[in-house]
């Protein structure tokens, strides 16, 4: 219970004020300690019972809890504590995980409290020693909070290792990189689309590095597979009474936020995100206060968002807002000029990692890299090179080491024949319809076409979806 007779301490600096909870059984002891702290410019509140201690910690924030150890071990004076609680310290730690606990030693207490996660100060210690102990413990608590925040931020900033510069010798990739440079200078949302493994994360980093926010952090959110409540908490943060946990938007204030595979956002979260894009305002989960943040948004997607919108799984207005600046990342099979450069980059990376310096690609491996269709794109290439470095026993990586001697999808479909482009397209459409059971929408998605695009080709080749399915 706060004492109205204690005036707020004078402000002596711009440093954050230290706030202490004085939890003591005796009123005169609480008053003496709080006056000592007040004279040193330290804010304080008080609690006289175990329930009051827990209530204060549940509703307010403290840097230090100065705790009478008799709350833990009882007293030789009957009736002073009716129910001593050896788990009191655990309860304090749970409610205030970042506060320092400073035990106030009582000369008449029985036994030694089991409090390995706390410091102590004698009740007979002078004012200067008490203030010094509080300041020391508050600084330790502050450092623990900073370390925890940095740990959480580092978890949010992660991503797969990627080459620091995109290999861009192919016309398709040069076009994508030119679009990246044009969009980097404006603080508008950007949508990066392309198949899984094409290197969209690398282009996110490239875009961020070319923007005016390059000196700020790049924060990632990967919502795929997470429940809606978790996604919203991670994106917008959470409010629990007076306790707050920041979200990705808080961490990206003044910087860049990338939402990977944005189609995985549930519809209610899409609505809240659209409002934030339009207004720069948001609310924490369970919170009522409207907050503002200055965030550059980048989204990635490996599926066709228009199909998701047509099916009612993605908001049309959010799609329009994102697709105004869309960069399509080409698959690796359309980037023949880039394949060997990327492979050489990954070879250098894994040769250093596994201490195989000097290893190189054989002529057969180079041919295999150039002729492979790379359905898994850059990610598949990276894994193949890592496998090769681990498998080779000499100084040269062979096609066998890379695992590229298996029959390719093209060989499985066409055998050893050389066919025209029209015949190849017809066979691919036929196979997709067989695998989809004659469902045009599903076959179109597998082929990377729109439904209308597939219908045009069916008409061109006089193909009937149901007949093709029945001939499977």
Query: At 249, which CATH number?
Result: 3.40.50.300
For residue 450, the SS3 value is: coil
Tell which of 360, 385, 406 closes a domain: 406
Long-range contacts, stretch 320-326, CB < 8 angstroms, 24+ apart: 321/189, 321/274, 321/277, 321/278, 322/189, 322/190, 322/191, 322/262, 323/191, 324/188, 324/189, 325/183, 325/186, 325/188, 325/189, 325/190, 325/191, 326/190, 326/191, 326/192, 326/193
pLDDT at 272 over 60: yes
Same domain, 69 and 120: yes
Question: Regarding predicted confidence, which is higher, 284 or 119?
Answer: 284
Tell which of 298, 328, 358 closes a domain: 328
For residue 69, the SS3 value is: coil
Q: What is the per-residue pLDDT for 266?
A: 92
Q: What is the per-residue pLDDT for 159?
A: 45
Kindly tell me the burial class for residue 406, based on how many C-beta atoms sit within 10 Å of its own C-beta (0-12, 13-18, 19 or more): exposed
- Strand 281-282 with 291-292, pairing: antiparallel
Same domain, 225 and 368: no
Residue 434: which residues within 8 A CB-CB, separation 6 or more? 468, 469, 471, 472
Same domain, 178 and 323: yes
What token pair was written down for 225? 């597979």
**Does 166 fall in a domain?**
no
Distance CA 39, CA 58 (A): 27
Per-residue pLDDT tens over the stretch 308-367? 899 899 999 999 999 889 999 999 988 888 899 899 989 998 998 888 888 999 999 999
Q: What is the per-residue pLDDT for 123?
A: 62
pLDDT band at residue 147, thresholds of 50, 70 and 90?
A: low
Q: What is the per-residue pLDDT for 301?
A: 93
Give me the DSSP letters along 74-113. -BSSTTS-SS--TTHHHHHHHH-TTSEEEEEE-TTB-S--
Question: Regarding predicted confidence, which is higher, 244 or 332?
Answer: 332
Q: What is the per-residue pLDDT for 326?
A: 92
Q: What is the per-residue pLDDT for 413?
A: 56
**Does 161 fall in a domain?**
no
- Domains contained in the chain, number: 4
For residue 461, the Cα-to-chain-centroid distance in whole angstroms is 47
pLDDT at 296 over 90: yes
**Does 257 fall in a domain?**
yes
pLDDT at 214 over 60: yes
Residue 459: which residues within 8 A CB-CB, separation 6 or more? none
**Does 162 fall in a domain?**
no
pLDDT at 416 over 60: no
Distance CA 269, CA 281 (A): 14
Residue 355: φ, ψ to 5°: 55, 50
**Does 35 fall in a domain?**
yes
Other C-beta atoms lying within 10 Å of the C-beta of residue 429? 23
Q: What is the per-residue pLDDT for 21?
A: 93
pTM of the model: 0.53
**Which residue in 132, 13, 10, 118 sits closest to 68, CA to CA?**
118
Q: What is the per-residue pLDDT for 163?
A: 43
CATH number at residue 48: 3.40.50.2300
Same domain, 33 and 62: yes
Q: Whole domain around residue 196: which residue ranges?
A: 171-328
Q: What is the per-residue pLDDT for 294?
A: 94
**Does 221 fall in a domain?**
yes
Kindly tell me the burial class for residue 196, based on how many C-beta atoms sit within 10 Å of its own C-beta (0-12, 13-18, 19 or more): middle
Q: What is the per-residue pLDDT for 16?
A: 57
User: b vs e for 248-284, b when ≥16 Cβ sit within 10 Å of the residue's Cβ?
Assistant: bbbbbbebbbbbbbbbbbeeebbebbbebeeeeebbb
Apex 9 CA angle, 5 and 12, nearest 5: 170
Same domain, 102 and 53: yes
pLDDT at 119 over 90: no
pLDDT at 189 over 90: yes
Same domain, 292 and 252: yes
Minimum mean pLDDT among 145-159, 178-192, 240-254, 457-471: which range?
145-159
Same domain, 122 and 271: no
pLDDT at 161 over 60: no
Same domain, 295 and 395: no
**Which residue in 126, 106, 138 sits closest to 41, CA to CA?**
138
Provide, for the chain, the percentages of residues in helix, strand and coil under a 3-state DSSP scheme, each rounded to the nearest 5.
50, 15, 40
Residue 335: which residues within 8 A CB-CB, separation 6 or more? 167, 170, 172, 173
Distance CA 247, CA 284 (A): 8
CATH number at residue 449: 1.10.10
Question: Regarding predicted confidence, which is higher, 447 or 235?
Answer: 235
Per-residue pLDDT tens over the stretch 62-115? 889 998 887 776 433 333 444 445 567 777 877 787 788 888 765 444 444 444
Same domain, 267 and 322: yes
Average pLDDT over residues 422-432: 81
For residue 400, the SS3 value is: helix
pLDDT at 273 over 80: yes
Element (H, E) at 245: strand 243-245
Instruction: Return the residue matching tokens 């502050």.
Output: 142
Tell which of 106, 121, 153 closes a domain: 153
Question: Regarding predicted confidence, which is higher, 425 or 412?
Answer: 425
Same domain, 178 and 322: yes
Contact of 408 with 376, CB cutoff 8 Å: no
Q: What is the per-residue pLDDT for 106?
A: 54
pLDDT at 263 over 60: yes
**Does 163 fall in a domain?**
no
Q: What is the per-residue pLDDT for 84?
A: 45
What token pair was written down for 268? 């209610």
Same domain, 315 and 434: no
Distance CA 193, CA 203 (A): 11
pLDDT at 280 over 90: yes
Chain length of the chain: 472
**Which residue in 256, 279, 255, 265 sits closest to 232, CA to CA?**
265
Q: What is the per-residue pLDDT for 12?
A: 43
Same domain, 25 and 146: yes
Minimum mean pLDDT among 11-20, 383-392, 452-461: which range?
11-20
Query: Across the chain, what does the average pLDDT equal?
Result: 80
CATH number at residue 353: 1.10.8.60
**Does 4 fall in a domain?**
no
């Amino acid at each position: 219970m706060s004492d109205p007779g204690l005036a707020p301490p004078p402000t002596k600096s711009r440093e954050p004020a230290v706030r202490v909870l004085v939890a003591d059984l005796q009123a005169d002891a609480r008053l003496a300690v709080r006056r000592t702290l007040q004279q040193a410019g330290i804010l304080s509140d008080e609690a006289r019972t175990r329930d009051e201690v827990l209530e204060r910690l549940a509703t307010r924030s403290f840097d230090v809890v100065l705790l009478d150890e008799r709350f833990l071990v009882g007293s030789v004076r009957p009736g002073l504590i009716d129910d001593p609680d050896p788990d009191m310290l655990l309860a304090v730690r749970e409610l205030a995980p970042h506060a320092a606990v400073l035990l106030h030693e009582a000369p008449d207490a029985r036994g030694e409290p089991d409090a390995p996660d706390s410091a102590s100060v004698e009740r007979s210690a002078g004012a200067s020693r008490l203030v010094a102990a509080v300041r020391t413990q508050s600084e330790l608590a502050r450092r623990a909070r900073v370390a925890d925040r940095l740990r959480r931020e580092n978890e949010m900033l992660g991503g797969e290792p990627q080459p620091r510069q995109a290999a861009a010798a192919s016309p398709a990739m040069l076009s994508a990189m030119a679009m990246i440079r044009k969009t980097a200078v404006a603080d508008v949302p950007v949508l990066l689309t392309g198949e899984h493994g094409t290197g969209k994360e690398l282009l996110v980093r490239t875009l961020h590095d070319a923007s005016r926010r390059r000196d700020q952090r790049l924060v990632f959110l990967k919502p795929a597979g997470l429940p809606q409540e978790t996604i919203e908490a991670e994106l917008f943060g959470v409010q629990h009474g007076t306790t707050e946990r920041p979200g990705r938007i808080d961490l990206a204030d003044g910087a860049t936020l990338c939402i990977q595979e944005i189609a995985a956002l549930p519809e209610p979260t899409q609505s809240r995100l659209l409002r934030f894009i339009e207004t720069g305002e948001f609310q924490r989960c369970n919170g009522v206060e409207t907050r503002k943040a200055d965030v550059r948004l980048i989204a990635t997607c490996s599926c066709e968002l228009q199909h998701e919108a047509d099916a009612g799984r993605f908001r049309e207005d959010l799609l329009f807002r994102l697709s105004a600046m869309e960069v399509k990342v080409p698959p690796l099979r359309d980037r023949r000029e880039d394949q060997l450069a990327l492979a050489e980059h990954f070879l250098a990376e894994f040769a250093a990692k596994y201490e195989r310096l000097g290893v190189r690609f054989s002529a057969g491996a180079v041919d295999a890299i150039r002729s492979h269709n790379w359905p898994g794109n850059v990610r598949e290439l990276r894994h193949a090179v890592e496998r090769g470095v681990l498998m080779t026993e000499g100084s040269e990586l062979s096609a066998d080491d890379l695992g590229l001697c298996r029959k390719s999808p093209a060989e499985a479909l066409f055998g050893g024949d050389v066919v025209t482009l029209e015949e190849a397209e017809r066979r691919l459409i036929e196979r997709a319809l067989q695998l989809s059971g004659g469902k045009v929408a599903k076959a179109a998605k597998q082929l990377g076409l729109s439904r209308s695009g597939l219908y045009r080709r069916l008409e061109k080749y006089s193909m009937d979806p149901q007949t093709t399915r029945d001939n499977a």
